[in-house]
Amino acid sequence: MQIGSAMPHVAPLPSSLPARPFLSGDSAGPSSPELIRAGQAPATPAQAAAGQASLREGDEPSPGRAAERPAAEAEQLREEQQQIASLASRDREVRSHEQAHAAVGGAYAGAPSYTYQRGPDGKTYAVGGEVGIDVSPIPGDPQATLRKMDVVQRAALAPAEPSAQDRRVAAQAQAQASQARTELAEMRREEALAAREERRLSAEQRKAAEAAEGEAAPATQQPLPSAPSLELYRNLARLQEPAATVDLLA
């Protein structure tokens, strides 16, 4: 995608001065009776001198016509100076415009390229330019795409007076950023669902492990001895009583 300044139309100046005014001495045919007679019969020395004098007098322009040529030259010089000033102003504007794109675009912008026009002074002036800029999204990474489109949008609108093409590029970057936000929101929603499912499975596995431990515990524990009954204590008491004495008479 290209962003840059449009090339204005600069009207060329006339390439030549106005034609020299027609002078009476420039006539191709004879214009005096003396010359006509000279063509019909040999001229006398006096007649030849008079004819030469007529030619010399015809070569001299009138005062009014002589003043037209300097005025035309001055007008042409004034127009050339105006065109040079206009070209120089346009050159500064174009270069500032394209350098603003390139400076803000950074790694996503190319080097400026210019279209030139030669002025009446023989110098070349930049009258148009462009900067290539990458507006493609970064696959699989909407967050990085958002950061890139922010740079692209700022680069497109960096000049003081963005062109129509600059605004189109900025709008395209904004659309890419909107799409990246949608992808990022969907990705985060999927990540949240995956985390929730993982927590649920972990809880179920923990409960199953606890239940298995509870079932295995009675089989492994030794039975506790039962408490002695009251009858056992009574029997022991009887054993401890003294035996009855018997008197034997001789």
Residue 239: DSSP 8-state: H
Residues of the chain with pLDDT under 50: 9-41, 47-58, 246-250
Helix (H) or strand (E) holding 171: helix 164-220
Contact 155, 112 (CB under 8 A): no
Distance CA 137, CA 143 (A): 10
Q: Please report, for residues 51, 129, 155, 161, 211, the alpha-carbon distance to residue 96 in angstroms, rounded to integers and kept in the order given.
A: 68, 10, 13, 11, 76
Q: What pLDDT sits at residue 13?
A: 43
Q: What pLDDT sits at residue 121?
A: 95
Inter-residue long-range contacts of 189-197, CB under 8 Å, 24+ positions, other chains counted = none
Exposure letters 88-101 (e unless 16+ CB within 10 A, then b):
eebbebbbebbbbb
User: What do you get for the CA distance between the two ends of the chain, in Å?
Assistant: 144
Q: What pLDDT sits at residue 208?
A: 86
Q: What pLDDT sits at residue 212?
A: 84
Q: What pLDDT sits at residue 32?
A: 40
Q: What pLDDT sits at residue 232?
A: 66
Q: What pLDDT sits at residue 12?
A: 45
Q: What pLDDT sits at residue 25?
A: 39
Q: What pLDDT sits at residue 36?
A: 34
Q: What is the pTM of this model?
A: 0.56
